[in-house]
């Protein structure tokens, strides 16, 4: 397997390797190296990411427990306004000393790369259909006005096209009706 390139998410664990019971705490303050998310909402490239990690040495590898916080930006799927969503996730993953199918991640020489773990946890925590608020009523299907901004917004009931020929009769004044 290829060695991880040194990134802000890469931690050196030389002081923990093969020392069960040893514990270290590390803080990573960096930015998203690329956009994480989907077309509707995601963490944009350059957005600050804070990772408070706790690394514990085990017999099989290094257990990484971390609290991750960042900000996702997108748009409400109902009314299309911008949405900012605070993202806070917890991760816990074992980085094995040697390749083992029981573990998804490995310690490479003396390094652990938290980027894929953090990225996956953040992306999986994002809502599939973000809304600006739970009771967002969306947009008017006829004119597109945002209904939360105009609570009493209504349109006249559409006229059945079969009755549209009678429309001019409604416009006649009372005098015109009496003359006929």
Domain ranges of the chain: 10-125
Running DSSP on this structure, what letter comes out for residue 161?
A: G
Is 177 strand, coil or helix? helix
| Residue 114, pLDDT score | 92
- Across the strands, what pairs with 68? 51, 89
Which of 26, 30, 2 has the alpha carbon at shortest distance from 15?
A: 26
What's the rounded Cα separation, in Å, for the pair 116 and 120?
Answer: 6
| Residue 1, pLDDT score | 46
What's the rounded Cα separation, in Å, for the pair 154 and 150?
Answer: 9
Per-residue pLDDT of the chain (180 residues; tens, 9 = 90+): 455 578 889 888 888 888 888 899 999 999 999 999 988 999 999 999 999 999 999 988 899 999 999 999 999 999 999 999 999 999 999 988 877 766 678 888 888 899 999 999 999 999 999 999 888 888 888 888 888 888 888 887 777 788 777 777 777 765 565 665
Q: Are strands 105-106 and 82-96 parallel, antiparallel or unpaired?
A: parallel
What's the rounded Cα separation, in Å, for the pair 108 and 3?
Answer: 6
> Do the Cβ atoms of 51 and 66 come closer than 8 Å?
yes
- The encoded tokens of residue 127 equal 């809502």
What is the H or E stretch that residue 93 is in?
strand 82-96
């Amino acid at each position: 397997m290829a060695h991880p390139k040194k990134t802000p998410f890469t931690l050196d664990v030389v002081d923990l390797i093969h020392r069960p019971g040893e514990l270290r705490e590390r803080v990573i303050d960096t930015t998203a190296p690329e956009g994480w998310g989907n077309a509707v909402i995601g963490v944009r490239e350059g957005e600050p990411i804070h990772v408070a990690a706790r690394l514990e040495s085990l017999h099989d590898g290094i257990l990484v427990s971390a609290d991750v916080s960042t900000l996702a930006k997108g748009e409400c799927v109902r009314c299309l306004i911008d949405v900012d969503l605070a993202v806070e996730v917890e991760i816990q993953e074992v980085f094995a000393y040697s390749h083992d199918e029981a573990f998804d991640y490995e310690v490479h020489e003396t390094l652990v790369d938290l980027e894929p773990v953090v990225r996956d946890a953040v992306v999986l925590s994002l809502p599939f259909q973000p809304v600006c608020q739970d009771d967002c009523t969306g947009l008017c299907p006829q004119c597109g006005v945002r209904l939360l901004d105009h609570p009493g917004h209504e349109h006249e009931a559409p006229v059945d096209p079969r009755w549209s020929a009678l429309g001019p009769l409604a416009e006649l004044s009372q005098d015109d009706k009496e003359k006929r």
